[in-house]
């Protein structure tokens, strides 16, 4: 059996996140995995700590429903709760952009920079952003569009 490419490993990771398949997430991450969240100034060290956080998230991490994958190699969308919008990268470094619907119904945007080592996810830096109302003072300088929602991406 051929060894999976790093892209295939990242795709397996995002599918496991979508399905809340914690065992697969654990199998794809290095024992010394490090995840950083710059917005909150937190660093998770080790697979065990990462697993404790994702398995113990208060209220659960969201709902899972049937999903679909649409698109091509570098752009695809999967639906609900964790919705991948795009995966790009090569070698040992990949980026994925996603939306996530939390158990309380809020939809947040996410970007993750993922680094692989020896066929495992070794490091991830993740940013999370809640939708917000645009300030009125910018109206004369911007073009408005509908923010990304689960409905707008066809999930």
Domains of the chain: 6-141 (3.10.450.50)
pLDDT of residue 63 exceeding 60, the answer is no
pLDDT of residue 151 exceeding 90, the answer is no
pLDDT of residue 62 exceeding 70, the answer is no
The per-residue pLDDT for 94 is 97
Task: Please provide the average confidence, as pLDDT, over all residues in the chain.
Answer: 83
**Position with higher pLDDT, 49 vs 99:** 49
pLDDT of residue 37 exceeding 70, the answer is yes
Q: What are phi and psi of 113, to 5 degrees?
A: -100, 120
The per-residue pLDDT for 152 is 55
Look up the pTM and report it.
0.77
């Amino acid at each position: 059996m051929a060894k999976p490419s790093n892209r295939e490993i990242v795709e397996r990771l995002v599918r496991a996140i979508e399905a809340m398949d914690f065992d697969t997430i654990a199998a794809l991450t290095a024992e010394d995995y490090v995840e950083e969240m710059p917005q909150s100034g937190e660093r998770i060290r080790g697979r065990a700590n990462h697993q404790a956080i994702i398995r113990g998230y208060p209220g659960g991490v969201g709902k899972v429903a049937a999903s679909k994958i649409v698109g091509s190699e570098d752009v695809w969308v999967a639906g609900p709760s964790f919705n991948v919008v795009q995966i790009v990268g090569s070698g040992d470094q990949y980026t994925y952009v996603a939306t996530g619907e939390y158990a309380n119904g809020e939809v947040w945007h996410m970007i993750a920079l993922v680094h692989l080592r020896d066929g495992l996810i070794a490091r991830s830096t993740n940013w999370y952003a809640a939708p917000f109302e645009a300030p009125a003072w910018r109206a004369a300088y911007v073009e408005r569009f509908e923010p990304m929602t689960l409905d707008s991406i066809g999930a």
